[in-house]
Structure formats: C-alpha cells, structure tokens
Amino acid sequence: MHLKHTFSLLALLFLSLSLQAGPSLVPSPPAINAKAWLLIDYNSNQVLAEHNVDEKVEPASLTKMMTGYVVQKEIENGSISMDDMVLVSEKAWRMKGSRMFIEVNKRVSLRDLLKGMIIQSGNDASVALAEHVAGSEDAFVQLMNQYARSLGMNGTHYMNSTGWPEKNHYTTVRDLAILARALIRDFPEHYAWYKEKVFTYNNIKQNNRNRLLWLDERVDGIKTGHTESAGYCLVASAKEGDMRLISVVVGTSSDKARSATSRKLLNYGFRFYETFLLHKANEPLTTMRIWKGEKENLPLGLAEDLYLTLPRGQRSKVSASMTVEPLLVAPAFKGQSYGTVDIKLGNKTLVSKPLVALEDIPKGGLWRSLVDNIMMMFQ
C-alpha cells in the first residue's frame, strides 16, 4: 500500500500561474518538406513536433557535433588541452569537401581546429582533431560510438569523424536532439562557439553555414550538414526569454529550405507553448517519518529540476500528486527512491519522476530500534 496525495506547494503554484492567461488553441505543427524532423524543449525534453524520429538517416556534417563533444570530454578528462599544438597529417590535409585549409606537417592549435570544424565545418580539422585525441581516426570513431551509447543514442553508429558518406554511418533525429542537449548542457563555453558567424584561418575568411544566425537573433547554434545523399540538414537551437527550443531537420532540398523549415518549427514552438520550472532539484517536497534512524524525519524531493512545457494558457488544467511508501525504515541513502511525483494535464500524465531521499540517515542505536519497533506495531 502507498500513500497518495496532492501536495499544496504545487497546487498554490498552479493557482497563481493559472491567473496569468486564459486557455488558447494549439494548431497542428507546420507542414515540413523533409525526410525527418523533431522539435523539443531543451529544459523539459518535451516533444512538440515530430516525424520519422527513429528512422535511420545520414547525418552528414552533423557528425561533427559528436566529434566536438568527444574532444571536449577528453579535455575535461585531462588527456588533451585546448592549447595543444596539433601536427597536421597528410590524411587530414587531403580531406575533400568543406575545409579550413590547414597545411600538412604544420602545427595548429587545438582551439583553432575546433573553431575551424564548428564554424567552417572543416573536414580537415575534424580528422586532425580525431588523430590528435586518439592516435588515429579509427580509434577516435570507437570513442564516438562509446560516447553515443553513454548518452543513450541507441540509433546511432559512426564510421568517421566528418560525416563523409559511408555504409553503416547513420543516426536518427531523436539521437541528434539528445546530442544537441548534451552539448548545450555539458559544455556551455564550447557551445558558445556554435553561434559565431565568421572564422578566419590562414587569411581565409569563411562564414558559418547556419543561415539562421543571420535571420533570427534567437538562434545561437548549432550545426548544418549536407551531402548529395543526405540532403540539406540542420540542428538549430534558439532561446526566447527563459525558454530554449531545439529543432532537428534532415533531408531537405536546399540550404534555403533547411533554414526555412527549421524556423517554422521554432516559431511554432515559441508561439504556442511555454516552459516553466515547477520545482528545483534537492529542495524538499515533503518530509516523512523514518523509523529506526538517527533522525526521525526524512526530506524527500527531486534529483533533477522539474520543468514543464505546456500549450499556452493550459496551466490551470495541471494537477500534481505524489505517491509515497507508507513505512520508511533506516538506513536511507541520498538519491534512493521512496515514491513518485506525477504531473497530469487533464487526464493525461505528462511526467512521472522518482521522489528521492535528499540526505543520508544511518541506522540509530539499539534503544532507538527497540522503541521504534514498539511504536511501529501501532502504525
């Protein structure tokens, strides 16, 4: 048996929020002429529009998002440094397609290579980075696939660091959204480079291929991709107020089309939805009696911030409740689940999150155990 009740903190919050706006209608997502697409809210991870999200697609230069992620992870791990001077191999120098025009047997700073890959989409920069991190591009690709698994990108498999067309090199728009969220969340300073419009290396000035950086001031990333077989692709992110959206569009017919379709999705999300923080992580939602412990009360809350994305004007229809185990006995460990928090919009469950212990409570002494054993018989 579990205890279930609506907690007053959220009820009061919803009451105050519901007075701000009346209900509004939400149309269907815009028609998109692309192979697959997805629109999500960054904070809540709520899907606002989708099509063919789990179909295998060719990522083209969207691959470089993972290349950048792996490089940043290895910097974080201490195996390489942003100030490393990278020796350019003949393989990197000979790469076809988009390039930053590095020269064979010359040394280039890792920082410049990252910018050349992100802003100029340099295939030569991608290979040079891969070889510096792992010794060879093949070894680096193993890291890419390992990081993909760790992020939950279960529909992705990489064969190279650039996105050059190759059999068994594929992803899904769902996985691309997972990767986009990870880039923004894990490496905000690195992510800021994705909004830079121009980078000059070796006296060659090249513009960022993401047209939306010029067309929409809300947009601050992320990456374009194009091959003949993949079509024109774009992962975009934009922020309006406290709300951030991520759109993924693959397989459009032109550079102009990928920008226009991405902008349609972003406009739709910002116009008809709103996101707000419902409850912060590690702040108590309730306090429960715990038996046989050094303390008598155990605070319970959420391990992560809880964001909700709703159609505008629908906050008054939201209800919140939690289910808690009826008998809590020490020891308790921080992060251990003792129930669930359920958020509904009408009769539809929007999200269900574990209700976890916010601190450790060890077992109490023998006397506490004897006393509580007696008291528990009357519960």
Known active-site residue 121 = yes
Going 128 to 134 to 139 to 142, the CA torsion angle's sign is negative
State both tokens at 1: 């048996």
Alpha carbons 120 and 101: distance in angstroms, whole number:
10
Known active-site residue 61 = yes
**Which has the closest alpha carbon to 39: 315, 236, 272?**
236
State both tokens at 326: 């009826």
Which is the catalytic residue, given 64, 115, 223, 264? 64
Four-point Cα dihedral 165, 171, 172, 173, nearest 10:
-70
**Cβ(99)–Cβ(70) under 8 Å?**
no
- Burial-class residue 178 by CB neighbours within 10 Å (0-12, 13-18, 19+): buried
Alpha carbons 67 and 179: distance in angstroms, whole number:
11
State how beta strands 318-324 and 3-5 pair. Answer: antiparallel
The Cβ of residue 95 has, within 10 Å, a number of other Cβ atoms equal to: 20
Alpha carbons 174 and 185: distance in angstroms, whole number:
17
Alpha carbons 173 and 156: distance in angstroms, whole number:
10
Alpha carbons 132 and 130: distance in angstroms, whole number:
5
Known active-site residue 237 = no
Which is the catalytic residue, given 35, 44, 61, 98? 61
Instruction: Name the DSSP letter for residue 60.
Output: G
**Cβ(205)–Cβ(277) under 8 Å?**
no
Alpha carbons 30 and 75: distance in angstroms, whole number:
40
How far is CA 154 from each of CA 36, 125, 181, 267, rounded to the nearest angstrom? 17, 27, 15, 29
Amino acid at 114: L
Alpha carbons 275 and 261: distance in angstroms, whole number:
22
Instruction: Name the DSSP letter for residue 338.
Output: E
How many residues belong to the chain? 379
Which is the catalytic residue, given 44, 89, 98, 121? 121
Q: Point out the residues that are catalytic.
A: 61, 64, 121
